[in-house]
Structure 1
Amino acid sequence: MKYGLVVLSAGLSGLLSFTFLALAIGTDYWYIIDGNKPNHTGPNDLSSHSGLWRIIEGANMSSVISSFTANMSSLSDTEKHLLGLHKVVVIVLPLSLVLLVLGWIFGLVSSLARSPKLLAASACYFLLCGLFTLSGVSIYIKYSNQAMEEIQRIVPPENLAFVQVSFGWSLALAWLSYSLEVAAGLLLLLAARITQLKGHYDSGVAIAMF
């Protein structure tokens, strides 16, 4: 496989992973709740969708998720635990986004230098970014499931009979970003191997000539 094609694919994967993660963090379709009854035609829309930073209720109502400014003294232990999980998510995922920028620059320098060690280091860096993204997404899923369990514990079952919940396309973008981060890391490892083999081949040719 050609070195240029491999590093180009790795760079494109890294760029797309950043784009998809940025879109995921900035949009509000991580979690979707549809509370409308079948054949609902009334003026009140009981559906909502939320992102990492705010909750959109109905057509035009929104509220900010105040994890860092909430009055902890007035919250139950379960609510404190949920806010703690949410804080981790909104720290880890933006951090992963910043790391991706640095990783892309590091990968570009490594590919231009054609250094096996630098390429391998860049690959490990991208895999580390993928670990951050995977951790953030996994914690968000845990946070959402526990929040729904708490709602089910408090709200009578008959009030939740028509409620449907699902994860949205923002979360899917985050998963796609994670997949591309891993792909970029593996491609950089392949580029490092190609460079290493080429170096051994060139050395062997040089020795044979003498």
Structure 2
Amino acid sequence: MRVTFGCLVIAAGICGALSFAFLAASLGTEYWYIIEMNPVNSSDSEDISSHSGLWSVNEGGKMYADSIDSFTADYSKYSETELRMLNMHSAIVVVLPLSLVLLLFGGICGLVSSLARSPVLLTGTASYFFVCSLLTLCGVSLYIIYSYLAVAETERLVGPEGLAYIHTSFGWSLGLAWLSYSLELLSGILLLIAARMAKLQHSSPTMA
């Protein structure tokens, strides 16, 4: 079965649209990190588990804004590890939304380059999507490192016994961000293939 130029750019467009939707859903939900607490003396009806997003925390069904504002915090009150975490959080909440905005413009560039069937524009748009995927990868990777540092710092403060009845895990919001990253890469690859096909089509009449 021969793959046509139209099929390639449509597939790239679908992947790009899905990557935008998944990243937007990821940023707008609070299931990046899940904390389940099961103390021995806790009643079954008591809900003290929590899940958090990039800007808010849900504890027992109640939503709270993130207690640390990494942009306005007084850095003199924090330890070196806490300062590192604040800087990482600042980077995360800038890089991931930036990637989302760039994806929107990438979709417009992809539409224009596909209609023009320009190998140069298609290659440029593919490179643009690769940059977006790199930003998403950096943001997600920083969040994972940030989360592990937070757990390590908490364990240092309360001791291993303080975390004995606490189970932590990453949630589906983070999974959506990873899926968005994969689709951004796939969009770039499909656009590169489309650029190659358009270049061959343009050179065929000349060669003849």
What TM bracket, shorter-length normalisation?
over 0.9
Please give the residue correspondences for 1:1-210 in structure 2 after superposition, counting only pairs within 5 Å. 1-37=3-39, 41-64=43-66, 65-205=68-208
Which whole-Å CA distance do the structure 1 matches of 2:42 and 2:147 have between them? Answer: 26
Which whole-Å CA distance do the structure 2 matches of 1:43 and 1:74 have between them? Answer: 37
Deviation at 1:28, TM superposition (A): 0.6
Deviation at 1:7, TM superposition (A): 0.2
Structural RMSD (CA): 1.5
Secondary structure, counterpart of 1:24 in structure 2? helix
Which whole-Å CA distance do the structure 2 matches of 1:124 and 1:136 have between them? Answer: 19
In structure 2, do the counterparts of structure 1 residues 114 and 38 end up closer, same or farther at CA, with 3 Å as the change threshold? Answer: farther
Which whole-Å CA distance do the structure 1 matches of 2:118 and 2:6 have between them? Answer: 13
In structure 2, do the counterparts of structure 1 residues 97 and 51 end up closer, same or farther at CA, with 3 Å as the change threshold? Answer: same
In structure 2, do the counterparts of structure 1 residues 23 and 38 end up closer, same or farther at CA, with 3 Å as the change threshold? Answer: farther
TM-score, with length taken from structure 2: 0.94
Percent identity over paired residues? 54
Which whole-Å CA distance do the structure 2 matches of 1:43 and 1:60 have between them? Answer: 16
Which has the higher mean CA deviation after the structures are superposed, 38-47 or 145-154?
38-47
Which whole-Å CA distance do the structure 2 matches of 1:38 and 1:178 have between them? Answer: 40
TM-score, with length taken from structure 1: 0.93
Could you tell me whether the CA contact under 8 Å between 1:36 and 1:45 is conserved in 2? no
Which whole-Å CA distance do the structure 2 matches of 1:104 and 1:191 have between them? Answer: 15
Which whole-Å CA distance do the structure 2 matches of 1:98 and 1:4 have between them? Answer: 26
Which whole-Å CA distance do the structure 1 matches of 2:10 and 2:41 have between them? Answer: 51
Could you tell me whether the CA contact under 8 Å between 2:37 and 2:166 is conserved in 1? yes
* Residue identity opposite 1:24 in structure 2: S
Give the number of aligned pairs.
205
In structure 2, do the counterparts of structure 1 residues 39 and 121 end up closer, same or farther at CA, with 3 Å as the change threshold? Answer: farther
Deviations 1:125-161 (A, max 9, x none): 0001000000000011010001111011111222211
* Residue identity opposite 1:27 in structure 2: T
Where structure 2 has 5 or more consecutive residues not aligned to the other structure, the ranges are none
Deviation at 1:5, TM superposition (A): 0.5
